[in-house]
Amino acid sequence: MRENLSSMIEIKNILMSDIVLIIAMSLTLSGGIFGASSEGGILSSFLYFLPIAALAVSLSFILHELMHKFVAQHYGAIAGFRSSMSGLLITLATGAFGFLLGIPGATVIFAHSFNKKQYGIVSLAGPLTNFVVFGVFLAMLTIINPPQSSYLFAVLYITLFISIILAFFNMLPVFPLDGSKVLAWDKRVYFGTMAAIFLLMLFFTPIPITTIIFMIIIAVFFSLFYKNLI
């Protein structure tokens, strides 16, 4: 397995996963292949959202995974991203139907002596990175204050929305998501982080309860099939 963590293979894995996620996210934002959200049809809608998805997904996903890697390496572990072919296929398929089950892969870590605190900090590093992305784009949205009908508003808002959604999903206390390891390390850190996420979503990116329930179902599904997907 360590051979799969070589630099070139890791770069190919994370770029392939990023491209698949971008396509799937563009399809999801378009309403899927059967429900395009624009009068021009699926192609017009897909092309409209593609640059937005490219920015939002790349920042939220790649930085999230790289931070896991760098923090794990800081503690002396061997770490690298590995994509899942079956997970990528599921990601594309669900995006085509207008909802996203994004399970492109994960950062795998090999460590001989990691304790709960180290695993917790490594796991928390990803969602905290999404907090930073969220904060930067919220600041840009506030300072620039573009019209809500403008493309710039869509770029900024969708990017911060995807970032906080990714933070929330990964902090769910379901193995192997980040939240399960943070909770095992320190309950105060876990609930403090989740409280901050809920407040940000409540005030800046209101999310229907049905969406939250759907994400929980996805997390449980991911947990059940994790060993077969990675």
* 30 contacts 49 by C-beta, under 8 angstroms: yes
Distances (CA, A) of 2 to 5, 72, 130, 161, 215: 5, 15, 27, 35, 32
Per-residue pLDDT of the chain (230 residues; tens, 9 = 90+): 444 456 788 889 999 999 999 999 999 888 888 765 455 677 888 899 999 999 999 999 999 999 999 999 999 888 889 888 888 998 888 888 888 878 888 888 887 778 899 999 999 999 999 999 999 999 999 999 999 999 999 999 999 999 999 999 899 888 888 999 999 999 999 999 999 998 888 888 777 777 777 777 777 776 766 655 54
* 190 contacts 179 by C-beta, under 8 angstroms: yes
Two structure tokens written together for 150: 């403008």
Is 65 part of the annotated catalytic residue set?
yes
Q: Which one, of 111, 109, 120, lies nearest residue 185 by Cα? A: 120
Strand partners, 79: 109
Q: What is the pTM assigned to this prediction?
A: 0.86
Q: Given this model, what pLDDT does residue 40 score?
A: 61
Spot the catalytic one: 3, 10, 39, 65: 65
Q: Given this model, what pLDDT does residue 4 score?
A: 46
